[in-house]
């Protein structure tokens, strides 16, 4: 139950993150909805490997400390 709330929270806020490209946002949201790399690749017209690269790059951006600070300072103002 908690995992679903966490997924919904991040899915709702991913599209508001200016540092991510639209494709990165799309891939992350689809992955949060439990779509496979193959299905996402088919929808976007790219290979599974490319989806994996896009996802990895987006997660790397989000994982930086400065980015996390921006993310959480922005979400506090959203509540």
What are the domain boundaries of the chain?
2-78
pLDDT of residue 78: 47
Predicted TM-score (pTM) of the model is 0.77
At residue 11's C-alpha, the angle toward residues 57 and 63, to 5°, is 35
Q: Could you read off the pLDDT tens digit of each residue along the chain, which spans 79 residues?
A: 677 888 888 888 888 888 899 999 999 999 999 899 999 999 999 999 999 999 999 999 888 877 677 666 765 554 4
Distance CA 28, CA 59 (A): 8
Pick the CATH number of 2-78 from 3.40.30, 1.10.3470, 1.10.10, 1.25.40: 1.10.10
């Amino acid at each position: 139950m908690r995992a679903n709330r966490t997924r919904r929270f991040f899915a709702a806020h991913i599209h508001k993150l200016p540092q991510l490209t639209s494709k990165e946002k799309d891939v992350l949201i689809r992955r949060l909805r439990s779509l496979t790399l193959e299905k996402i690749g088919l929808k976007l017209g790219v290979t599974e490997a490319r989806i994996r690269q896009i996802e990895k790059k987006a997660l790397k951006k989000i994982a930086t400390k400065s980015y996390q600070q921006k993310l959480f300072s922005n979400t506090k103002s959203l509540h």
